[in-house]
Amino acid sequence: MLFAAKHVDDIKLVKGFIRHSLDEYKHFSIFTNIKNQISLDHQLSNKEIRFVPNHLYAKGYIYKDKFIFEKKNIKDFAIFIGANEEIAEKKLNDFLKNIRSFKPNHANQIDKILLDEERHAKYSLRFAKKNNSKFGYVMKFAKENLLSKLRHFYANSLNKVSIIFNPVLHLMILIMYLPVKFLDLEKSNTDNDVFKNINPKSIL
Amino acid sequence: MFYIGISAYYHESSIFLTNGININCFIKEEYFTRIKGDKSFPKRSLEFLIKKYSLNEQNIKFICFYEKPFKSWWEIFIYSIKKPLENKKFLSHHLKNFNSSSIFFYTHLNKIIKISKEKILYSSHHLSHCLYGSLYADNIDDYAFVSCDGVGEGETMTVYTINYDNLIKKHWTNFYPNSIGLFYSAITDFLGFDINDGEFKVMSLSSYGSPIYEKEMDKIFDCEQLKINTSYFEFQKNPERSFSDILIKVFGKPYLNLGIKENFQKYSNIASSAQLLLNKSLKNLIFKAKKLTGKKKIVLTGGVALNCKMIHDLSKQNIFEELIVPPSPGDSGSAIGAANFSYFYENKKFLNNVGLFPGPNKKDLNEKFNLNEFFEKISDAESSLETATNLISKGNIITTYIDNTETGPRALGNTSIICNAKDKLAVQNLNEKIKKREYYQPLAPLLLKENFEKYFTIQNSIKKNLFSMGTLCEAKEDLKINYDSIIHIDNTCRTQIIDNKNSFIYKLLRKLSESNIDILVNTSFNISKDPMVFDLFDVYTNMKRMNVEFVIMDKGIFKIKEI
Ligand SMILES: [Fe+2]
Ligand SMILES: [Fe+2]
C-alpha cells in the first residue's frame, strides 16, 4: 500500500493508500500483541509462534521481486485488493467463531480489524466498479476469487511437492559426494601479494 | 567515470557509487522495499542510481561485487558434503538456493543495466572488509586490518596489512566452521532471537548476568586456538536451527520466554558467558594479529566488530595502541570496500575516506512528495534552532530528517529520533512506546565532543569510535545526577560525540546547553523491525505509527497533519 502511495499522482489516491497502509500497520501490531500475549500466557517463546512472511511468497500474494502494484494496473489492483480483502474478512470471521468463547479479548480486537477490512474492500471495489466496464469488473472479480482459491490449494500442497522433490535432491547429493571426497584442495592461509594473486574477473 | 561496489545475497544488500572525486552515494535495498535486512539483488537501489547519475556502459568504469560468488557458495557446501547423510537437510537447502545465489550476479545485474563482462570485477569477501576499513585509517602502514564475521568464502577471521607502496599482505586466516561469529549467532538463536538482528539484544542482555557458564563455554569454543567444537552446533546440517541437542543438554530448554523472571536471569547469564568468550577470543585474535604483523594499531571489520561492548572491554586490557571500527563494519559496508577494490584496480591508489554520511541527500529523494498536504510548517530554517530547543526542553520527542543519510546501522543524528536525556518520562516513552524496544536495551546519548569528559570516561585507544557509536564508554558520577535513564545496568553508555560545527545537531546541542541540557537521546528513525525511514512517505507513516508530531527538516520544522 505504501509502495502504491509512492507511485500514483492523484493526491486523493495517495492519501487513500497511506491511510490503508496505516491500517495494515495497525493490524500487524494488533496481531503482534495478541501473539505476545499468547506466548506469555502459555510460557512460549516468540520463536515458537511466529508469523513467517515466506508463506506469502509461497501463496503468491507477493511476487518475489515485485510489489503487487507494479504487476497490475491500478484498475486491476483495486479489484485484487477488494476481492482479497473480502476473502480475508471471511477467513477472519471463521477464525473469530473459533476463538470468541475462550479468548474474548482477542476476539474484540480482531473485530476492529474486521471493520477496517470491510471498509477497505468497499472502497477498493467502489473504485474498481467506477473504473472498469460492468462485464470486465464481474469477470476480473471472479478471476481473483478463483486465483485466491488456487493459491491456497498450492500452498497447502507444498509439503506434498517436497515429498517428490527431496529424494531427487538427496540422490544428487550422493552423486556429488564421491568426486568431492577425493577432491581435497589444499588451502593456503597466507598471501604475500593479495592483488597480484587475485583474479578480479573470476568468480572462483 | 563511476566505480560501483555491490554487496548482496547474504546480509542487507547495498550499493556504493563513487567517481573518486566528489560524488559518493551509498544506499541499501531495504530503504526501497521496506523489508528490514533485505538481501535480494539491490535492483531498486541500482535503478535509483541509474536515474540519478544517468548511468550507462560509457560512464561506468567498473562494477565490483564484494566477494567471489562461487567460492562463497562452494566452501560451505564442500564442508557439509563430507558427511552427506548427517547433513542432507542443509545440503538440500543449499542446492535449492543455488539459482538464487550470487553466482547469478551478472545475470541479475544485466536485467537492470546492460554492461559488458569486461567491466565486472569480483573482490574477495574479507579483502572487501579490509579495503572498507582502510578508508578510516590515517596512515595505513601503521595498522593491522583484522576482519571477523560469521563466514565469507569459507573464511571467518583474517589479518591483512597494507604498506606505503600499497602492497596488501594476508598474514593469516581462519577457516569455516571455526567461527566466533557463528558461535554468537547460534547463542542468539538459542536465546530466542533472530540471527543477524538479535545479536544486539544478546549483547545488552549480557550486562544483566554473570558469566557463570564460563567453563562450559570454553568447551564449546577454544578461544586460544580459535577453534569451534561442532558437536554443539547444527548450522552445518540444519538450515532451521543452528545449535544441537548437546548444547540443549548443557543449557537446558531453548526459546524460553524472557517475560518470566527466572528465565530472564538464566538467559542473561548465558549471554554474559557468551560475551566473555567473545572477548577472550577477540583478545587472542588481536594478539595473533599483532604478533604476525608487528603493528600495534588495529582496524577491526566484519559483523563481529558491531559488538561495541566487546570493543570497550578489550580497551581496558591495554592490548593495542588504537582500535578503529568503521561505521558499517558488516557486509553491507563492504559495498564501499568493493568500490575501493575497483578504484585501486584502475588507479593503483585508494579512495579517500567517505566519512559518516555517504548516503544520498534527502532533497534528492522527495521530488514527488507534496509536503504541504501532509505537514504544516511551524518554523523557518532560520528559526529552527530556537524552535527545536523550545520543543525539546518542553519534553517533546522529535524526529530529524536532514542533510545526507548515514551508512547505518546506527543513525548519527541526520535520520534520528531525539529527546532531552534529562527527561525521564520522555526517555522511557521513546524506548518502550515509540520504538517498541525491549526494556533491557539501553538508549544512546549524543553530546558535543567538548562536553564528553564532564560526563564519561574512555580509553584513548578507542576514542575515535565515539563519532560513530562504535563503542561503549563509562558513566561518571556527574552523569548519574541528571541523566541516569540513559545509563545501562553495567554503568556504560553507547555514546556518540559530535564536533562538526556545520551540522545542525552540533548547533542544536550548543543552543540546548544554554538551557542546561547537554545530552540528547538519539535513536534511529524507525520502529523496531522496520528499516530506517528513507523518503517523506516513510517519514509520515512512521510518525503516524509512533504518534510523534514534529520533524526537523532542512527547510524548517514541521508538524504532522491529519489526512
Ligand atoms: Fe486491508
Ligand atoms: Fe563478512
Q: What string of H, E and C letters represents the secondary structure of B250-278? A: HHCCCCCCCCCHHHHHHHHHHHHHHHHHH
Interface of B with A in 212-271 (CB under 8 A): 254-260
What is the per-residue pLDDT across B495-514, written as a single tens digit (0 to 9) for each? 999 999 999 999 999 999 99
Nearest CA in chain A to B174: A189
How much is the mean pLDDT over chain B? 94
Contact B391, B399 (CB under 8 A): no
Give chain A's end-to-end CA distance (angstroms, integer): 42
Please tell me if residue A181 touches chain B, with a CB cutoff of 8 Å.
yes
What is the per-residue pLDDT across B42-100, written as a single tens digit (0 to 9) for each? 999 999 999 999 999 999 999 999 999 999 988 888 888 888 888 888 888 888 888 77
What is the mean predicted confidence (pLDDT) over B301-329? 97
Report which of A203, A81, A68 is spatially closest to residue A140, judged by C-alpha positions: A81
Separation between Cα atoms, residue A80 and residue A143, nearest integer Å? 9
Domain residue ranges of chain B, discontinuous segments joined by +:
2-134+328-347, 180-324, 362-560
B297 — pLDDT class (breaks 50, 70, 90): very high
- For residue B218, the one-letter residue type is D
Query: Which of these ranges, A22-31, A101-110, B122-131, has the smallest mean pLDDT?
Result: A101-110
What is the mean predicted confidence (pLDDT) over A170-193? 80
CA distances from B14 to A54, A129, B188, B405 (A): 22, 42, 24, 14
What is the per-residue pLDDT across B515-562, written as a single tens digit (0 to 9) for each? 999 999 999 999 878 899 999 999 999 999 999 999 999 999 999 999
Separation between Cα atoms, residue A14 and residue A9, nearest integer Å? 7
> Residue B291's Cα: distance from chain center in Å?
28
Among A5, A190, A198, beta carbon nearest to B537: A5
Distance from CA of A11 to the nearest CA of B (A): 8
Interface of A with B in 118-177 (CB under 8 A): 166, 169-170, 172-174, 176-177
The CATH code that applies to domain B2-134+328-347 is 3.30.420
What is the per-residue pLDDT across B9-37, written as a single tens digit (0 to 9) for each? 988 999 999 999 999 999 999 999 998 89
A177 and B81 in contact by Cβ < 8 A?
Answer: yes
Please tell me if residue B424 touches chain A, with a CB cutoff of 8 Å.
no
B10 CA to middle of ligand 2, Å? 9
Among A15, A194, A200, beta carbon nearest to B121: A200
Separation between Cα atoms, residue B363 and residue B553, nearest integer Å? 10
Strands B143-152 and B297-301 turn out to be parallel
Q: In what order do the strands lie in the sheet with B2-7?
A: B24-28, B14-18, B2-7, B60-65, B120-122
What is the per-residue pLDDT across B365-398, written as a single tens digit (0 to 9) for each? 998 899 999 999 999 999 999 999 999 999 999 9
A117 — pLDDT class (breaks 50, 70, 90): confident
Report which of A68, A52, A72 is spatially closest to residue A60, judged by C-alpha positions: A68
Report which of B178, B182, B221, B185 is spatially closest to residue B200, judged by C-alpha positions: B185
Separation between Cα atoms, residue B527 and residue B524, nearest integer Å? 8
Please tell me if residue B537 touches chain A, with a CB cutoff of 8 Å.
yes
Q: Which CATH number fits domain B362-560: 3.50.50.60, 1.10.1370.30, 1.10.1740.10, 3.90.870.20?
A: 3.90.870.20
B192 and A46 in contact by Cβ < 8 A?
Answer: yes
Separation between Cα atoms, residue B487 and residue B442, nearest integer Å? 7
Query: Strands, DSSP E only, in B216-334?
Result: 221-222, 227-228, 297-301, 322-324
Grid coordinates of B192: 530466542
Separation between Cα atoms, residue B115 and residue B111, nearest integer Å? 10
- For residue A179, give every residue at least 6 positions away whose Cβ sits within 8 Å of its Cβ, in sequence order, or none: none
B181 CA to middle of ligand 2, Å? 10
- CA quadruple B559, B467, B188, B87: dihedral, nearest 10: 110
Contact A67, A5 (CB under 8 A): no
Separation between Cα atoms, residue B473 and residue B495, nearest integer Å? 7
Look at residue A187 and give its three-state secondary structure.
coil
Residue A64 pLDDT > 80, yes or no? no
Residue B361 pLDDT > 70, yes or no? yes
Report which of B128, B103, B22, B15 is spatially closest to residue B63, judged by C-alpha positions: B15
B81 and A180 in contact by Cβ < 8 A?
Answer: yes
> Residue A199's Cα: distance from chain center in Å?
41
Distance from CA of A135 to the nearest CA of B (A): 34
Separation between Cα atoms, residue B413 and residue B357, nearest integer Å? 10
Give B221's strand partners: B228
Say if B180-324 and B362-560 have the same CATH topology: no
Separation between Cα atoms, residue B254 and residue B259, nearest integer Å? 14
What are the b/e assignments for A46-83, b being 16+ CB within 10 Å? bbeeeeeeeeeeebeebeeeebbbeeeeebbbbbbbbb
Contact B146, B289 (CB under 8 A): yes
What is the per-residue pLDDT across B256-294, written as a single tens digit (0 to 9) for each? 888 888 999 999 999 999 999 999 999 999 999 999 999
- How many CA atoms lie less than 13 Å away from B513 in the CB half-sphere? 13
What is the mean predicted confidence (pLDDT) over A84-112? 84
Strands B143-152 and B155-162 turn out to be antiparallel
Residue A156 pLDDT > 70, yes or no? yes
φ, ψ dihedrals at B221, nearest 5°: -140, 125
B105 CA to middle of ligand 2, Å? 18
Residue with cell 554443539: B232
- For residue A142, the one-letter residue type is A
What is the mean predicted confidence (pLDDT) over A163-191? 79
- Vertex A44 angle, CA A41 and A48, to 5°: 135
Contact B124, B153 (CB under 8 A): yes
Mutate to test the interface with B, among A195, A199, A202 (most CBs of B within 10 A): A195
Separation between Cα atoms, residue B295 and residue B208, nearest integer Å? 35
CA distances from B346 to A150, B1, B61, B351 (A): 54, 11, 9, 11
Residue A155 pLDDT > 80, yes or no? no
How much is the pLDDT for A147? Answer: 85
Domain residue ranges of chain A, discontinuous segments joined by +:
2-165
- For residue A139, give every residue at least 6 positions away whose Cβ sits within 8 Å of its Cβ, in sequence order, or none: none
Residue A58 pLDDT > 60, yes or no? no
Separation between Cα atoms, residue B300 and residue B304, nearest integer Å? 9
Look at residue B398 and give its three-state secondary structure.
strand
Tell whether pTM > 0.90: yes
The torsion region of residue B261 among left (phi > 0), alpha (psi -120 to 50) and beta comes to: alpha
Contact B203, B494 (CB under 8 A): no
Q: Around Cβ B293, how many Cβ atoms within 10 Å?
A: 20
Classify domain B180-324 at the CATH topology level: Nucleotidyltransferase; domain 5 (3.30.420)
Total number of residues shown for chain A: 204
Total number of residues shown for chain B: 563
How much is the pLDDT for A140? Answer: 87
Q: What string of H, E and C letters represents the secondary structure of B174-192? A: EECCCCHHHHHHHHHHHCC
Residue B480 pLDDT > 80, yes or no? yes
A50 — pLDDT class (breaks 50, 70, 90): low
Q: In what order do the strands lie in the sheet with B297-301?
A: B168-175, B155-162, B143-152, B297-301, B322-324
